Amino acid sequence: EVQLVESGGGLVQPGGSLRLSCAASGFTFSSCAMTWVRQAPGKGLEWVSTISDNGINTYYADSVKGRFTISRDNSKNTLYLQMNSLGVEDTAIYYCARTAGGSGYLPVDYWGQGTLVTVSS
Amino acid sequence: DIVMTQSPDSLAVSLGERATINCKSSQSVLYSSNNKNYLAWYQQKPGQPPRLLIYWASTRESGVPDRFSGSGSGTDFTLTISSLQAEDVAVYYCQQYYSLPFIFGPGTKVDIK
């Protein structure tokens, strides 16, 4: 059974940093691209970032480019999202999601339960 | 960037009746080399993460009831629930994965009339 478990969310002050993690199990992690999607309270889904299966290719939404860094450790079956210079507009549930293949140009087929990031003073 | 729009914003349908949701992309998401539309549909129930329903515009994900179907090509797509059930109350999103950024539509809320 595919499982994606996010951690690392919480309350952070504007300008602060946070690192999200996603522990994956139940599939061959190193064969799948991985994606972060966020959802602000009461709002729709926003694609944030995708990383290819081997970690070489990374893609970002303009809203986070230069502030967020996606990475992965295939030896630990773990996906990360380093978030710097956080603003109140980054407040959201952050979902870790599996892309249905090695590249990013595929749908997301499994989602974690999400971790809440709140940026507030 | 490709802009995704959905209509209507919300709809209420009687149990057992058909629900139709439209999604439009500002550019074609049909990749000519493989003749595939890079378009997916997701369902999100309250308090839950999204769930993949349809990919390649019309391929149903494993385990998805056959009352859900997707159609369309190029820039215009439709998600149809042929006979609405109580458990289908949710917000439905389309998403293009043809080009970066992989934008989601704004969502359509489906309720019971």
Interatomic CA distance for residues A1 and A18, integer angstroms: 29
B27 has pLDDT over 90? yes
DSSP for B50-106, please give it: -EEEEETTTEEPTT--TTEEEEEETTEEEEEESS--GGG-EEEEEEE-SSSS-PBP-
Write out pLDDT tens, residues A39-81: 999 999 999 999 999 999 999 999 999 999 999 999 999 999 9
- pLDDT-based confidence at residue A101 (cuts at 50, 70, 90): confident
The answer for A 49-108 residues in CB contact with B (under 8 A) is: 50, 59, 61-62, 95, 100, 104-108
Helix H or strand E segment including B66: none
Interatomic CA distance for residues B11 and A23, integer angstroms: 37
Q: Which two tokens stand for residue A57?
A: 């290719």
Which residue is associated with the tokens 């349809």?
B54
Mean pLDDT of the A93-109 span:
91
Per-residue buried b or exposed e for A109-118, using 16+ beta carbons within 10 Å of the residue's own CB: bbbbebbebe
A102 has pLDDT over 90? no
The beta-carbon neighbor of A47 closest among B55, B98, B104 is B104
Which amino acid would we find at residue B106?
P
Which amino acid would we find at residue A42?
G
Q: Among A16-30, A57-71, A91-105, B95-109, where is mean pLDDT lowest?
A: A91-105
pLDDT of residue A23: 98
Phi, psi of B80, rounded to the nearest 5 degrees: -120, 130
Interchain contact A116–B (C-beta under 8 A): no
Write out pLDDT tens, residues A6-38: 999 999 999 999 999 999 999 999 999 999 999
